[in-house]
Structure 1
């Protein structure tokens, strides 16, 4: 009988790891400054960080003592946005910088809750003059200021300025240095019955 042919080696196909919480160390330095993030491998590989609790949901209010169009960080109850890892620990600037350098893009959602106020498009005025403005992590202003703006409306319920509604904006960019968002300016408030609040979503960096 002839000798048996060469045996085939069966290679186990690579399967993505489960989405969940993982420790990462972008600067590859001392492991003591590693931090825990949420990784979503099924979305093309995303590493997500979260806003501090105080910014996850800011309640609807009239903000009667504040100036329309001014940055939220200048409000009496306001502050620049800050971010934490999944354990609630503050992020080191150096680690966040390296995470941006290792990423090809990033995205983040911002939801405006409104009462008789526009947040992006103002339907009756047929204008974006009252659109939200954001300050990026690199201090660049982001908004409806050009056709190349990374800010887009996923849902714009505030445009009719009737009752309570919400507008969901997505910032999706191939310039990771623009995120996470650092501040927001709301223009349409200050009149009778006008109120706004907001929800700041996690920022996710893609490989």
Structure 2
């Protein structure tokens, strides 16, 4: 016979937590659940980037500088490059338009408008309209030859003295140089030949000097006399090369500068006159 139920005893000590159970089967979210799960995340915000400026050329040869906006264009805030290593301009011409108060001096430009890490240090001649000038690695060279050497070549080139190495220019690679040529309408370069009075007499008139002096351009072609101006006097001969590519038939002239090699026709000089000193000026683009 079953007796009466006794009183409830005291609560026992809590036992240890058991091991986790096995994972259940993957469920399926309904369309309703997906719509009610909350707002969809918006597009990931990108850091604000400042657009690089760009100097553009028009078909009529004129140039204008495109605006560079900082942040949203709706803000209407202009941010012009400063010509520094971290914030280079495209050309000195462009830099002068943005900052008319700047004095002539060294600034940084980035003609290909890419990463500022390959910006080039140039001399900006704002007095001359904003020309971009690059110094040669060697501003003065000696060109000499041995008159008694037997050679089938009448022109002696400076590169022959340097195992084929030609004139180089500070801090600029071939890519940046091509963009400088593209952005410019005119390029020019000065060279001064320092000679004795007897050498000047042997070279003769301006026309004969043009025939005796040979200049190799950046494109690998020799620079024609139509692009050179020669002034002779006081123991020196000044040679100026100027190329203008704003005319259709002269577009390729811009590829001639800078000068890469200097040569002299040794037949014009006597056996005693076998050396020249040449001052190489900067290559300038405008």
TM-score normalised according to structure 2 size: 0.54
Q: Report what 1:52 is aligned to.
A: 137
2:269 is the alignment partner of 1:186:
no
Question: What runs of 5+ residues in structure 2 fail to find an aligned partner?
Answer: 1-98, 246-253
- Structure label with greater radius of gyration: 2
CA shift, 1:131, in A, is 2.5
SS at match of 1:184: strand
Q: Is structure 2 residue 249 aligned with structure 1 residue 173?
A: no
1:57-116 Cα distance to aligned partner (Å, 9 max, x none):
124x652158641322123577311000xxxxx311111111110011111001112233
Once the two structures are superposed, residues 146-177 of structure 1 have per-residue CA deviations (whole angstroms, 9 ceiling, x without a partner) of xxx11001x2138xxxxxx2100100111332
Which structure is higher in helix share? 2
Higher relative contact order at CA 8 Å, sep ≥6: structure 1 or structure 2? 1
Q: Does 1:150 align with 2:233?
A: no
Provide the rounded CA distance (Å) in 2 between the counterparts of 1:44 and 1:58.
29
- Provide runs of 4+ in structure 1 moved above 6 Å: none
Aligned partners of 1:119, 1:50: CA distance in 2, in Å? 31
Give TM-score scaled by structure 1 length.
Answer: 0.72
Structure 2 counterpart of 1:63: 145
Q: Displacement, 1:185? A: 1.2
Which of 216, 219, 223 is equivalent to 1:138?
219
Which runs of 5 or more structure 1 residues have no equivalent in the other structure? Answer: 1-13, 85-89, 159-164
Is residue 2:111 matched to residue 1:29? no
How many angstroms apart in 2 are the aligned matches of 1:119 and 1:185?
18
CA RMSD after TM alignment: 2.8
Q: Quick one: distance in 2 between partners of 1:126 and 1:37?
A: 34
